[in-house]
Amino acid sequence: MGIKFRLGTMMFLQYAIWGAWSPVLSEYLINDLGFTPFQMGVVLGLLPFAIIISPFIGGQVADRYFASQRVVGFLQLSGGVLLAFISAVTTYKTMMWLMLVYCLLYAPTLALTNSIAFINLKKSEKEFGYVRVWGTIGWIVAGLVLMGWRFASRSFDPIAYAGDTLLLAGIFSIIMGIHTFFLPHTPPKKEAEKPWAFLEAIKMMKDKHFAVFVTIAFVVATELMFYYNLTAPFLTSEKIGLSDAAVPGVMVIAQVAEILVMVALMPYLIARIGIRNILIIGVLAWPVRYIIFAIGKPAWLVIASLSLHGFCFVFFFVAAFIYTDMVAPRDIRHSAQSLIMVVTYGLGNLLGSLFAGGVLDYFTTEAGSNWTAVFLVPCLLTVLCALAFLLFFRPKKEPVPLEL
């Protein structure tokens, strides 16, 4: 097998694991296990928490002592077995502590798989995107497999399993662990990077435009969790009326749109309208999606609006990493990326998960959840982000676009 094929398969499995449980776990926790929305927010906030501290875990071990693919293999095999066990857990405290352990195992593999790909690709700046896109495809396939499993279980009861979303993720994780034995050898570095190296990039905050950019990115990251955590229970609510079996397949609309926007639009537009305008389009797409969610009808429009994720995610978060790489001094580019990762996927997603769960809790009564009020909250906040971006993010010089 060629290196690109093995690395593509690695990315496919890496994100199939995440895609198997992340989109629909909230619906399972609330509707099947009876967790409160805030408890759901805590459980789904554990991965962002793990991302914040992951530089201390697998990254340092791989940098100093063991080959990266061996570390990933150990973490994925251990995580797969743990997920299979968690799939049978039904109590909040046990679920919370075991998911914390799992997330601490999984989080380091996100950076390590990127590192393995970058090190083993001859022209990583041109080839990485074609390898990474298989991760999004893996997320899509995981959703379709879960949907097929659930529909099949309706006619063949023995395969029905309440914790199917976690069990499927565990199966993918074990397969991923086995696959690491076929990855190219990636030995530890002679000099390991400091785990909090991203702090070196804080000096960039002296530029008021970059400071505005980071602040808005943090707030938008908190609102991302209203989509990730609440969409599945929203789609299965009486307001929309989808079955829990259909939700995993319907939600992959977002990832299909993500691929199309990333491959077809981003490379074309970034050189023509500039990274600032790309970011503006991205941040404006957020309140559009949430106002459609708040209105909640017709159902087909709500489902169609999932495709806005392509613009919300790619034109803002993917563009954010590109912008950071453009403006960061060459000697601290990696540290700058680490800073944005911690601010958005770490702190932003963690606080956003708790916030989204708390908002749903507040607007839920015995009569049900007031989904209009729930989604007006992120709609208002993302409108404010868009206005702040338009008014205050005006860098003096447009960065030179990178070749995608």
364-365 and 368-369 strand pairing: antiparallel
Tell me which residue range forms the domain holding 138.
Answer: 1-184
| Rounded Cα distance, 133 and 168, in Å | 21
Residue found under tokens 């990485």? 128
Distance CA 206, CA 126 (A): 32
The whole-angstrom separation of Cα 254 and Cα 263 is: 14
Token pair 């996927």: residue: 345
Instruction: Verify that 216 and 155 share a domain, yes or no.
Output: no
In a domain, 312, yes or no: yes
Q: Does residue 327 lie in a domain region?
A: yes
Mean pLDDT by 10 residues, the chain (404 residues): 90 96 94 94 94 70 74 95 96 97 92 84 75 91 95 89 95 96 82 61 84 92 94 93 92 92 83 86 93 94 94 88 80 75 91 95 90 96 92 68 45
Q: Decide if 306 is inside a domain.
A: yes
Using alpha carbons only, what angle is made at residue 280 by residues 275 and 235, rounded to the nearest 5 degrees? 120
Residue 220 sits in the same domain as residue 173: no
Say what the pLDDT of residue 36 is: 94
The pLDDT, as a whole number, for residue 404 is 44
Q: Residues 223, 137: one domain?
A: no
Looking at the fold, whether 291 and 386 belong to one and the same domain comes out as: yes
Mark whether 180 and 211 lie in a shared domain.
no
Q: Looking at the structure, do residues 211 and 309 belong to the same domain, yes or no?
A: yes
Tally of domains in the chain: 2
Q: Is the peptide bond before 298 cis (omega within 30 degrees of 0)?
A: yes
CATH code: domain of residue 319: 1.20.1250.20
Tokens encoding 257 = 């749109």
Instruction: Specify whether 220 is located in the same domain as 356.
Output: yes
**Distance from CA of residue 33 to its chain's centroid?**
24
Q: Do residue 388 and residue 343 come from a single domain?
A: yes
Query: Among residues 139, 158, 184, which one ends one of the domains?
Result: 184
pTM, two decimals, is 0.86
Q: Are residues 14 and 109 in the same domain?
A: yes
Shared domain for 117 and 168, answered yes or no, is: yes
